[in-house]
Amino acid sequence: MAERLAAVMAPGHEPASGFVAETQNNSGQALLNSITQMMAFAQSYLGGLDQTEQAYGAQETSGSQTFQNGMR
């Protein structure tokens, strides 16, 4: 929907139509930029969660092995 908003064409060739279309295009582009930034943030956040999960799993495995070795 944001892409459609960024591509609004003026219905007529008078100043009012051009002004409205330009305003809509600017709003649509700003919305697209916001969506792109939020997607980048979300991808970065998910990447960090994946790294944390892997580190936690490695520590859990190491701790389990240490515990099992101490039981022998």
What is the distance between the alpha carbons of residues 29 and 35, in angstroms, rounded to a whole number? 10
What is the distance between the alpha carbons of residues 27 and 43, in angstroms, rounded to a whole number? 24
What is the distance between the alpha carbons of residues 61 and 67, in angstroms, rounded to a whole number? 10
| pTM of the model as a whole | 0.66
The tens digit of pLDDT for each residue in 9-52 reads 888 888 888 888 899 899 999 999 999 999 999 999 999 999 99
The domain containing residue 48 runs over which residues?
2-70
Number of domains in the chain: 1
